Amino acid sequence: MYIIVAGGGKVGYYLAQHLLEEGHEVLLIERNPDRVTEINEVLGAVAVAGDGAEAGTQAAAGASRADVVVAVTGEDEDNLVICQVAREKFHVARTIARVNNPKNEHLFRMLGVDVTVSQTNYILNLIEQAIPERSFVHLVSFHEDLTIVDAKVSESSAVAHRAISEIELPVNTAITAIARGANLIVPNPGTELLPGDDIIAVAHQNQEDELRRLLV
Amino acid sequence: MGCGRVGARVAGLLDHSGNEISVIDTDSRSFRRLPAGFGGETVIGTGIDEDVLRKAGIEDAEAFIAVTNGDNRNIMAAQVARLIFEVPQVICRIYDPVREDTYRRLGLTTVCPTTTISAIILDHVMRTTSDTNVGRGGTT
């Protein structure tokens, strides 16, 4: 694939390096010429100096034949415009933006960015998962509004000591696995939920609260 | 949004003609550019943050004007104003003519100082040359 990466900070640099190792054709656009020289000394001639949001820079970078444009600068407004210019002017099929302010994730998707990556949210999630004795943890988001959660069944939970077939789950949610101590159980309708079980469930993001009330 | 020379002047004129104005800028010192007796609100913060826009009263705004020095910031804020807060009139300054063209096509109301001022200057230049030509024509 031909991938254009805009933004030559730590994220852009390591991303470009990784994509090159995987055998992709990569071009990195970075505003600061000194940084471009630094990157090219290590990675070979992969970086060019320029403003990734400028149509001229994207045209020179061959955006019209790019499969993916990834915008990973430290400024959300730049990442948004880089993706929008790639999409509207060069018809790039897939645009990916780093989102520095988690509040902007939804906005970016509304404005046509295909994928958003929020570092802040990822780090928050990882920290949340690392805190012991949490009863309900959001593990991962995918496909825009789907989520995988880990809910710990408490002694007082309405679902404790009941079979999965007896539980009325919110619509379009699924219990996909149960972690009981060191064992992983792939559930069937007859599987009984026990206090202390970790339930791994897939749901829509807006059903997380309902699921939490039911299971915990 | 953006209390530079243009932002402060537009805010002052609209305030003077009896409108309710909020001015947003990241730097409180830029509010000094507002004319004496300015009666509107000032809000410190970046206009690409929905919470800052709410604080400036965007939910009731009839118009939103993005005139910071950053094209991309203006573009992003204008899209937030239009799509999230559904402000009826949104005006966005974009210096880069190519970007201006792209976002005008996407439906933003844009002002591009680069093309506007170039056109005015060219107009003056052409007029001067044609005046001179007329003069020369007269003497021959």
In the predicted structure, residue B139 carries a pLDDT above the cut 60: no
pTM exceeding 0.80: no
What integer pLDDT is reported at residue A122 of this predicted model? Answer: 81
How does pLDDT run across A70-119, given as a tens digit for each residue?
Answer: 999 999 999 999 999 999 999 999 999 999 988 898 899 999 999 899 88
CATH of B5-113 given 3.20.20.370, 3.40.50.720, 3.30.70.100, 3.30.300.30: 3.40.50.720
Residue A112 shares a structural domain with residue A18: yes
Nearest CA in chain A to B96: A54
Per-domain residue ranges of chain B:
5-113
CATH number for position A12: 3.40.50.720
Contacts of A75 in chain B (CB under 8 A): 72
Distance CA A33, CA B104 (A): 31
How does pLDDT run across B80-121, given as a tens digit for each residue?
Answer: 999 999 999 999 999 999 999 999 988 899 999 999 999 999
Contacts of B75 in chain A (CB under 8 A): 77, 80-81, 84
- CA-based nearest distance B11→chain A, Å: 24
Tokens (6 digits) for A112:
């046509």
Residue A12 shares a structural domain with residue A111: yes
Q: What is the DSSP letter of A63?
A: G
Per the structure, the count of domains in chain A is 2
Residue A6 shares a structural domain with residue A64: yes
What integer pLDDT is reported at residue B27 of this predicted model? Answer: 96
Q: Do residues A23 and A52 touch, judged by C-beta distance below 8 A? A: no
User: What order of strands is seen across the sheet that includes strand B63-66?
Assistant: B63-66, B89-93, B109-111
How does pLDDT run across A113-136, given as a tens digit for each residue?
Answer: 998 998 888 887 778 777 766 788
How does pLDDT run across A9-55, given as a tens digit for each residue?
Answer: 999 999 999 999 999 999 999 999 999 999 999 999 999 999 999 99
Task: Note down the domain range covering A174.
Answer: 132-215
Residue A75 shares a structural domain with residue A143: no
Residue A11 shares a structural domain with residue A109: yes
Distance CA A80, CA B75 (A): 9
- Residue that finishes a domain, picked among A62, A84, A118: A118
Band of the pLDDT at B140, cuts 50, 70, 90? Answer: very low
Contacts of B50 in chain A (CB under 8 A): 103, 107
- Is A123 part of a structural domain of the chain? no
Residue A23 shares a structural domain with residue A114: yes
